[in-house]
A = this chain, B = another copy of it.
Amino acid sequence: MVSMNYYSLVLVVVALVWALAAVAGDPDILGDFIVPAPMVGMPPTNITSDFFTYTDFLAAKEYMPWPPQYFIVIKANMEVFPALNGQSVSYDMLVFPSRYVNPPHTHQRAAELLFVQSGALSVGFVDTAGKLYTQVLVAGDIFVFPKGLVHYQYNQGPNPATAFSAFGSAAPGTVNVPASVFGTGIDDAVLAKSFKTDFWTVQKLKAALTPPPKK
């Protein structure tokens, strides 16, 4: 008889499903689409048209205060929209308050194709030779940030800006540079030497960028 308890079995299944998702990758799949594995004791996902439909952009727009007070990113990637698994594409909806900067970051698994829907954005990226490319985009413009390079967007003006970004991966991934470097506890000496600065500056930046502990 199976002597493990129900919790352990769920754990096994969840781990397997997670591992599965992890290995799925963006290569071609061998079927029309990937049906999520059912949970223990649950019926399998009933695949209807709703499985292929994502309504969170709509919901977000309806309940969003205007003008926006915070930077808002609504993602439509495979984590929240499982039908994208294996389809190699995803969206972000970005809402920038006035004067907001989306700080330098990289996406490890995809280029970003940004379309400005309203307002204006100053954008830039740096290639591996250390050359900065900047552009001022207005509503209707499109800009491509090549795969894996550091880039940012800045809403310099007094009005909000909205944009859509498309990615050629269902899970593009994001490495936020300031938070990764100054917000994760990297040793002060490493940072001082890397940024050719003093400990005091490092500690100031860490204080600003380290998230407060969760209670």
Are B41 and A30 closer than 8 Å at their CB atoms?
Answer: no
Measured CA separation A8–B145 after assembly (Å): 31
Q: Is A138 an interface residue (CB 8 A)?
A: yes
Residues of B near A69 (CB, < 8 A) are none
A178: which of B27, B48, B195 is its contact (CB, 8 Å)? B195
Whole-angstrom distance from the CB of A34 to the nearest CB of chain B?
5
Number of identical monomers bound together in the oligomeric complex = 6
Are A26 and B22 closer than 8 Å at their CB atoms?
Answer: no
| With contact pairs A31-B22, A148-B106 given, residues A115 and B87 touching in the complex (Cβ less than 8 Å) | no
Measured CA separation A124–B194 after assembly (Å): 13
Are B175 and A149 closer than 8 Å at their CB atoms?
Answer: yes
| With contact pairs A11-B38, A177-B177, A186-B104 given, residues A23 and B149 touching in the complex (Cβ less than 8 Å) | no
Q: Is A46 an interface residue (CB 8 A)?
A: no
Residues of B near A87 (CB, < 8 A) are 111, 113, 144, 146-147, 168
Measured CA separation A198–B106 after assembly (Å): 23
Q: Is A67 an interface residue (CB 8 A)?
A: no
Are B194 and A101 closer than 8 Å at their CB atoms?
Answer: yes
Are A23 and B180 closer than 8 Å at their CB atoms?
Answer: no
Are A175 and B128 closer than 8 Å at their CB atoms?
Answer: yes
The chain A residues found within 8 Å of chain B, CB to CB, are 1-6, 8-9, 11-13, 15-38, 40-41, 44, 48-50, 52-55, 57-58, 61-62, 76, 78, 81, 83-91, 99-101, 103-104, 106, 108-113, 115, 117, 122, 124-135, 137-150, 152, 154, 156, 164, 166-171, 173-187, 189-190, 193-197, 201, 204-205, 208-209, 211
Shortest 3 CB-CB contacts between residues of A and residues of B: A108-B148, A58-B140, A166-B166
A sample of 7 inter-chain contacts (CB < 8 A) reads: A13-B16, A32-B127, A81-B142, A149-B175, A154-B189, A156-B189, A197-B205
